[in-house]
Amino acid sequence: MKNLALAAALSLVVLSSLPAKAEPDPLPNTGTYFITNMQSDEALQPGAASLGQSVHAVEYNKSGMQKWAIDRKIDPKTQKPTNRYTIKLAGENGELNFEPHPVADMSAVLGMTKQVYVLESGDAGILIKSVFKNGDALYIAPQPPMATEAKFGPNDGSAKYRWKFTVAE
């Protein structure tokens, strides 16, 4: 009986000294993705691959114009990935960066300036917050019969602010 108690005590010591299992990182890594809205299942897509084009949410069809190259920033001190990103249109079309429109209540655009976004994961998808817009989040704004606009504004917690990143192959 004494040996059994000793074995149980030793197993507790061994188990408590093992490192805890790390939760899988829910945020996307650097790569090429389709970015779709959780409420509408529409994908981000510019009108054309040129500067100044508005970015809308349109029917998700895995088009080349719906592919976005995201770059996850690495903390210089810890060398670990952060929740900060830059986003640009994928492909060989130069530096067409995803930018919030400088005018409030206007659709996002393709521009020359790399913008930084903070991604926050939740049960209902990922929130995309603009550093330039002081934390305003990307959301969809349907404008029937026109294309759904992709804008930045204060997060109201609804699904229109939640996004899914799907690896583009």
Number of domains in the chain: 1
Enter the pTM of the model.
Answer: 0.84
Kindly state whether residue 151 falls inside one of the protein's structural domains: yes
The per-residue pLDDT string of the chain (169 residues; one tens digit each, 9 = 90 and over) reads 555 444 444 444 444 444 455 567 789 999 999 999 999 999 999 999 999 999 999 999 999 999 999 999 999 999 999 999 999 999 887 789 999 998 888 999 999 999 999 999 988 899 999 999 999 999 999 988 999 999 999 999 999 999 999 999 8
Kindly state whether residue 126 falls inside one of the protein's structural domains: yes
Supply the range of the domain harboring residue 163. 26-167
Contact indicator for 102, 93 with CB cutoff of 8 Å: no
The DSSP result for 42-69, as a single string, is EEEEESSSSTT-BEEEEE----GGGEEE
Q: How many CB atoms lie within 10 A of CB 87?
A: 23
Read off the CATH number of the domain in which 128 is found: 2.80.10.50
Q: What whole-number distance in Å separates Cα of residue 128 and Cα of residue 121? A: 9
